[in-house]
Amino acid sequence: MVLLQRPHILLLLIGTHQFLQCWIAFGSVNEEGQKQEEFSEELLLKPLPDHKLLAHFHFQSSGPPSTSNGCHHHLFPKAISQLVQKFRIKEMELSFTKGRWNYESWGGFDPLSSSNAKPPGVELWAVFDVPQHHIDASWKNLTHTLSGLFCASINFLESTATYSTPEWSFPPASGNVRYGTLPCEAVCTENLTPWLKLLPCRDKAGIALLLDRPSLYRGFYHSQQLHLTSTGSSSEGIDSGIILEQTLTVVLQPNSEMAIEVHASEKHIQPSWSLSSIFGKQVSGRCVLAKPSSVYLLLDRGLSAANGLTSENFWSNPSFELSANPDRIFLEESSSHSKSLSILYMFQVEKYCESEPFDIGLMWKVPVAWLCQQTPLHASRFLMGSGNERAAIAISLKSTQFTEGFMSANSKDGSCELRVDVFQVVPWYVKVYFHSLRVFVDQQPRAVSDIIEKIHVSPSKDKMSPGVMEVVLKLPCRVNTAALTIEFDKGFLRIDEYLPDANQGFDIPSAIISFPNFHASMVFLEDDSLNKSPLLSKFQEKCPVMSYTEVLLVPLTTPDFSMPYNVITITCTVFALYFGSLLNVLQRRVAEEERFLKAKAAKKTGRLPLLLSKLSAKLRGSGINQN
């Protein structure tokens, strides 16, 4: 029996083994299949309360580890992967922004605004995966590379006086992060073209076709971002995959001609728009390389509440009319502190082609008014004082309606606290006196130690490093207004350190106000296709709520730029005068001079010469003789 059974067992074993092998092989195939380079293009449209339209383009390319396919890429831009490999970037974000995000009317508490509202100019931060003492060198090289890649003066961030090392108040906090901004950088199409070059279809096909330069730059706000994440750690020898997210957020004013035609009498009606009317173009099919290629229309909570849309009746929309039928409608998962839900209409671009281009329009039938979700506190920053010697920066926080509702819902016991992180970088020529920090809560001065839980300061060094202030404020929930003021002296620069337009003034970069206890996320009801969409999965991530304050323009005193030669010569003359006359006095022998004068006087008789000699003696200042 035993002998008979053995071959069976053997066969069984072999069979199992083969099956396992097959299974493993299949698995590996599957794994490699997952690691294909992918590209997705998405566009999200969102009507804003103040008659404007937000368009958010989101392109995501992911590159698998380079060991699997060498240095070659099918879709992923090679320049970016080389950049990541060379400088060992863990995470990086570069944004070019024109205009200021209007937190009051465009909202600040949704993932869209908290990750796409950026300070004007260029903002760059990067987390490196290199030892501490190499970070600065990597940063410098990175700024130069990016500067070349994006045709921008990012290389000005190279000098240590322009970038800083946030310790903990900057959200992607870690010791290896470097943060720098160029508030005065002008952003234009020359920065967009290299950015588009990173897309596999550029702007020749797919959603990127909509990126019509004149209509983009006509907008109120324009922010072009590049976000890099390299997954896994490359320091351990495992090469990492890279995810490149390119987003472009624009706030546009739709032409309201259509609305006027229909409802000429009604002034407050939202302007109707269509893709072709705002961008002047239509989408003639997807970029063939893009896997999900879709357009979304987002009606945020306030709007859907104003429309009376609930989870039951969101198919029937009484106040507006869509020109194309959505392929899918998502409803936001109900959250704790909001009754109304956001609604997302999805349109798949795959279905459209050259002959039948995709165009979506929204026609408002009745006027609606709603409010976007605000940040807990509305932050603004301004300068105090006059004159060019000293001034003060004030950061004021004002509570919004949102806070009131939220606080009343959340604070069961009276002692609830609102945590606010303030991250402020000031250039070195703004010489901040940190001891002059004052805190006002509800317009009453308060002791700094009562309100400020934690403060980290790294004072500025002249021409070496900027001043960084990181403050954690613990405010009572019922706070109406809070303000931080800090005094500073305006520095005086050398003439060659002034910018070409010196009288315009210098910019103080935006302060970052973040609310670490609040997270903006938008979770849509679970669906299979949702996981495929990078944009929606990004919405699901919990991102901290933060807002940027205004850029401050500080006028600095200027010296006279035409004067260097005059100043040098006059000063040197005065010094020569001092040196010469003092030396002259010290080595003078008055006795000899007197003798000489007397001899002269003896020779010459007559009144005039005598008078002259007396006069000259007087002028020479030989006092004794005259007395």
Partner 1 sequence: MEKVKKKIGSFSFWNWVTASIIFRLILIYFPKNLNLSSRPEVSTPLTSFRRLAEGYWLKQSFMSPYAGSMYHGSPLLLSLLGPLTINRIEGQPNHLLYSLVSVIADVVSAMLIRATGQNLRLAYLRSLESLDLVKQIEVSGDIAALIYLCNPFTIVACVGLSTSPIENMAVILCLYGACSRLIPLAAFGWVIATHLSLYSAILIIPVIFLLGCGPDSPPRKLFLQRHQQKEVLNQSKLPPRFSWGPVIHFAFWAFLWSVYVLVLCGISLKQFGGLWEMFKSTYGFILTVEDLSPNIGVLWYFFAEVFEFFRNFFLIVFHVNILFMILPLAIRLRHRPCYLAFVYVAICSMLKSYPSVGDSALYLGLLGWFVNELADMQFSLFLFCGYVGVSLLSPVMHNLWIWRGTGNANFYFATAMVYACLQIVLVVEGVSAMLNHDRKLRNLITGKPQDAKS
Q: Which residues contact partner 1 (rule: CB under 8 A)?
A: 386-390, 428, 431, 433-436, 455, 457-464, 467, 489, 491-496, 557-560, 563-564, 567-568, 570-571, 574-575, 577-579, 581-583, 585-588, 590-591, 621-625, 627
CA separation for the pair 5, 7 (Å, rounded):
6
| Shortest separation between residue 574's beta carbon and partner 1, angstroms | 6
- One DSSP character per residue, 66-104 reads HHHHTT--SSS-HHHHHHHHHHTEEEEEEEEEES---HH
3-class SS string, 386-429: CCCCEEEEEEEEEECHHHHHHHHHHCCCCCCEEEEEEEEEECCC
| Shortest separation between residue 465's beta carbon and partner 1, angstroms | 9
Cβ contact 157:183 at 8 Å? no
Which alpha helices (H) appear in 280-411, and where do they start and end? 301-306, 401-410
Residue number, 7 or 500, with CB nearest to partner 1:
500
Residue number, 264 or 585, with CB nearest to partner 1:
585
Question: For residue 525, what are the CA distances in angstroms to 143, 333, 334, 607?
Answer: 41, 5, 9, 117
With 0-12 / 13-18 / 19 or more C-beta atoms within 10 angstroms meaning exposed / middle / buried, residue 407 is middle
| Shortest separation between residue 509's beta carbon and partner 1, angstroms | 18
CA separation for the pair 133, 151 (Å, rounded):
28
b/e code 96-106 from CB counts within 10 Å (16+ = b): bbbbbbbbbeb
| Shortest separation between residue 63's beta carbon and partner 1, angstroms | 42
CA separation for the pair 156, 491 (Å, rounded):
20
Please choose, from the candidates 482, 62, 401, 437, the residue with its C-alpha nearest in 3D space to the C-alpha of residue 231.
62
| Shortest separation between residue 461's beta carbon and partner 1, angstroms | 5
Structure tokens at 12: 């069984």
With 0-12 / 13-18 / 19 or more C-beta atoms within 10 angstroms meaning exposed / middle / buried, residue 248 is buried
Residue number, 256 or 558, with CB nearest to partner 1:
558
b/e code 381-396 from CB counts within 10 Å (16+ = b): beeeeeeeeebbbbbb
Residue number, 570 or 610, with CB nearest to partner 1:
570
β-pair partners for 391: 488
| Shortest separation between residue 431's beta carbon and partner 1, angstroms | 7
CA separation for the pair 360, 377 (Å, rounded):
36
* Pairing outcome for strands 377-384 and 512-520: unpaired
Would you report the helix, strand and coil content of the chain in percent, each value rounded to 5? Answer: 35, 30, 35
7, amino acid identity: P
| Shortest separation between residue 567's beta carbon and partner 1, angstroms | 4
Please choose, from the candidates 163, 244, 221, 153, the residue with its C-alpha nearest in 3D space to the C-alpha of residue 191.
153
Residue number, 416 or 570, with CB nearest to partner 1:
570
Residue number, 309 or 468, with CB nearest to partner 1:
468
| Shortest separation between residue 506's beta carbon and partner 1, angstroms | 15
Q: Tell me the backbone φ, ψ of residue 89, rounded to 5 degrees.
A: -85, 130
For 155, residues 6+ apart whose C-beta sits below 8 A from its C-beta are 143, 144, 147
| Shortest separation between residue 422's beta carbon and partner 1, angstroms | 17
Residue number, 412 or 435, with CB nearest to partner 1:
435
Residue number, 34 or 449, with CB nearest to partner 1:
449
| Shortest separation between residue 595's beta carbon and partner 1, angstroms | 12
What angle do the packed helices 78-87 and 135-150 form, to 10 degrees? 170
| Shortest separation between residue 556's beta carbon and partner 1, angstroms | 11
| Shortest separation between residue 627's beta carbon and partner 1, angstroms | 4
Residue number, 408 or 573, with CB nearest to partner 1:
573
Residue number, 156 or 498, with CB nearest to partner 1:
498
| Shortest separation between residue 523's beta carbon and partner 1, angstroms | 42
Q: Tell me the backbone φ, ψ of residue 359, rounded to 5 degrees.
A: -145, 130
Residue number, 43 or 430, with CB nearest to partner 1:
430
Residue number, 107 or 466, with CB nearest to partner 1:
466
Residue number, 329 or 495, with CB nearest to partner 1:
495
